[in-house]
Amino acid sequence: MIYKIFGIFNDISIAPWVDDAFKDSLNVLAFLFFAFLFIELIEYFCSEKINNFLKKSEKLAPIVGTFAAVIPQCGFSVLASTLYLRKYITKGTLIAIYLATSDEAIPILLSYPEKIFYIFPIISAKVVIAILTAYIIDYILKDKKYIFNPDSENCNLHSEDDGCCSHSVSKKRKRDLIFHPIKHTFNIFIFILLITLLLNYLIHISSDFNFIHILYTKLKTFQPVFFAIFGLVPNCAVSITITMLLIKGIIGFPAAISGLLSNAGLGILVLIRHKENYKDTLNIIFIILSISILSGYIFQIAKYIFLHIA
């Protein structure tokens, strides 16, 4: 433990579950920094090109937006919301970006080598579901694709929307290439540490009242619904919590995919803040929630069938 190296609390007995939480969290610290540094470089050099392509290409926009959203970028869903408000992308493209948004799930899974095998199924599921949803929605809505008035004062494309860590997504600064990855790494590390401490404690005491068994078996049927709703909360801690629950084996893949599909980052907050058409925002949230729950149950049924056939 790092505090033992410096001679701090040498005479204090540290509970094993606390010690494990600190070790697990510290082990991923360096990797997270380099991962977020790489992501910051992608955001800085590529985000404007992606945005311009999305504005110019309607038919391919859902595909481009989906694959761009899979890359864990803090502010991409915010930019997508602004593009939608400015009438540059369709509702289908916006929802595809929301469904594909990865947030912290991919970097965290990469930090745990024994859980890397989850990455391909998660990315594949999000990409396929997002693209299919986008084209179905745009086909059904047809001429009702765009809702907002592009001349509205509240729909300024260059508004001061922030991603996580109060990080500007519309005005990139070179100093953010270093400062934001450091700040973001620290914030995510604290989240991971706190969530891991909580999960380790619950696992530690689970033998007393079988908490983990109840969550994983008795409530398993309702997990896709619960985590899809939980995923709507616009905060980094949500995707971290869902990913850590998956890593610890407390929830299964179907519940995790429901939560990660509905976890659209801060983008929904941008729609809520612009009140020109609150019904449209509610419709978007309803679609995301419905697709997330349905997808979770499809995977849950598929898993059940596979296990019984095998």
Q: Answer for the pair 91, 135: CB distance below 8 angstroms, yes or no.
A: no
pLDDT of residue 309: 77
CA distance 245 to 215: 11
Query: Given phi > 0 = left and psi -120 to 50 = alpha, else beta, which region is 252?
Result: beta
Specify the residue for token string 């706190």.
194
Note down pLDDT in tens along the chain; length 310 residues.
Answer: 444 444 444 444 567 767 777 776 777 677 667 766 766 776 666 666 666 666 666 678 888 889 888 877 666 777 788 888 878 888 999 999 999 987 678 888 888 888 889 999 999 999 999 999 999 998 888 644 444 444 444 444 444 555 555 555 555 666 666 777 777 678 777 877 887 787 777 666 665 545 555 655 566 788 899 899 988 887 777 888 888 888 888 888 999 999 999 988 778 888 887 766 788 889 999 999 999 999 999 998 888 788 777 5
Which amino acid type is present at position 145? K
pLDDT of residue 132: 96
pLDDT of residue 8: 46
pLDDT of residue 298: 94
Specify the residue for token string 């590390």.
189
CA distance 101 to 275: 23
Which residues, in sequence order, are bridge partners of residue 162?
A: 168
User: Which residues, 6 or more positions from 71, have their beta carbon under 8 angstroms from its beta carbon?
Assistant: 39, 42, 102
Collapsing DSSP states into helix, strand and coil, what is residue 162?
strand
Token readout for 145 is: 């694709």
pLDDT of residue 290: 95
Q: Answer for the pair 267, 255: CB distance below 8 angstroms, yes or no.
A: no
pLDDT of residue 214: 60
CA distance 54 to 48: 10
Domain boundaries, the chain: 20-309
- Residue 89: phi, psi to the nearest 5? -130, 160
CA distance 148 to 154: 10
Q: Answer for the pair 192, 215: CB distance below 8 angstroms, yes or no.
A: no
